């Protein structure tokens, strides 16, 4: 895991990510072609009908961030805060949070993207949304306000009025009722022909079938770190939840 000293340009993100030694994590890293735990490249599975160049193109941005589902989007620390403050808060947060099973997690389209998602309105989706919002609220004390350029970039996505209000409040538009758990598997695939997009989806379903068969869990919060603008995100530290799913019911 990354641990070297960093300048004030570092950004941090709160993500749901599998344990780095789990089959689910290895499947995600293999699909994206990069392991954010150790920073190494991984061989990607061949996709019939999609060239390696096109495959890298549609996974490049996702690979830079690492295999994850966003909880609190990348942010800089507020003036006066240091990395140790973030780690201490994460330690306190994790011991009060329940493990959430994801029995219906599957490869599903998200606009022109692909992601591992839950059915909207399912019990597990609601539980994860509540967990994510607790993190968004509790960690906001350490978040520096988003820079104007970052707000402008977000607003290029044609946000609704509600999403824009959430962006202004939390620095990310997909919070509160707009939150949808998604482990990003591709970038925008609009450049691919329809049959190639279907081939990518079919390949993703096959690739993740084994690792999702045993009911994956949200069982920890992982802090990822970007050392400087445009650099790949690395895992800084993972904080396991200590309340089991059974004891939380």
- All structural domains of the chain, each given as residue ranges with its CATH number in brackets, are 11-248 (3.90.1140.10)
Largest Cα–Cα separation, the chain: 52
Q: What pLDDT digit, counting tens, does each position of 149-179 carry?
A: 888 888 877 899 999 999 999 999 999 999 9
Question: For residue 5, is pLDDT > 70?
Answer: no
Instruction: Give the residue among 242, 241, 224, 246 at the shortest CA–CA distance from 12.
Output: 224
Residue with tokens 């970052």: 150
Q: Which residue has the higher pLDDT, 238 or 6?
A: 238
Give the distance, in angstroms, between the CA of residue 196 and the centroid of all CA atoms in the same chain: 25
Q: What pLDDT digit, counting tens, does each position of 119-129 carry?
A: 999 999 999 99
Q: What pLDDT digit, counting tens, does each position of 65-87 carry?
A: 999 999 999 999 999 999 999 99
Give the distance, in angstroms, between the CA of residue 249 and the centroid of all CA atoms in the same chain: 26
Based on the number of CB atoms within 10 Å of its own CB, is 81 exposed (0-12), middle (13-18) or buried (19 or more)?
middle
Say whether 201 sits in a helix, a strand or coil.
Answer: helix
Instruction: Give the residue among 67, 58, 63, 59 at the shortest CA–CA distance from 23.
Output: 67
Give rounded-to-5 percent helix, strand, coil for the chain: 40, 20, 40
CA–CA separation, 202 and 199 (whole Å)? 5
Question: For residue 202, is pLDDT > 80?
Answer: yes
Structure tokens belonging to residue 92: 């306190």
pTM of the entire predicted model = 0.92
């Amino acid at each position: 895991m990354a641990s070297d000293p960093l300048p004030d340009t570092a950004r941090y993100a709160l993500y749901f990510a599998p344990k780095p030694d789990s089959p689910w994590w290895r499947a995600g890293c293999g699909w994206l072609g990069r392991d954010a735990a150790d920073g190494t490249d991984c061989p990607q599975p061949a996709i019939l009908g999609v060239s390696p160049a096109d495959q890298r193109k549609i996974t490049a941005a996702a690979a830079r961030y690492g295999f994850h589902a966003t909880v609190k989007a990348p942010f800089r620390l507020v003036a006066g805060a240091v990395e140790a403050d973030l780690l201490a808060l994460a330690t306190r947060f994790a011991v009060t949070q329940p493990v959430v099973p994801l029995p219906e997690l599957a490869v599903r389209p998200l606009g022109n993207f692909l992601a591992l998602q839950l059915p909207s309105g399912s019990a597990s989706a609601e539980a994860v949304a509540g967990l994510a919002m607790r993190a968004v609220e509790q960690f906001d004390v350490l978040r520096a306000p988003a820079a104007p350029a970052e707000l402008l970039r977000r607003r290029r996505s044609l946000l609704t009025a509600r999403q824009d209000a959430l962006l202004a409040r939390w620095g990310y538009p997909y919070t509160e009722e707009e939150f949808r758990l998604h482990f990003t598997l591709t970038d925008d695939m609009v450049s691919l022909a329809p049959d190639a997009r279907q081939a990518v989806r079919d390949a993703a379903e096959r690739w993740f079938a084994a690792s999702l068969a045993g009911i994956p869990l949200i069982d920890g919060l992982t802090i990822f770190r970007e050392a400087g603008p445009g650099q790949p995100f690395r895992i800084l530290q993972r904080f396991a939840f200590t309340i089991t799913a059974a004891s939380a019911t």
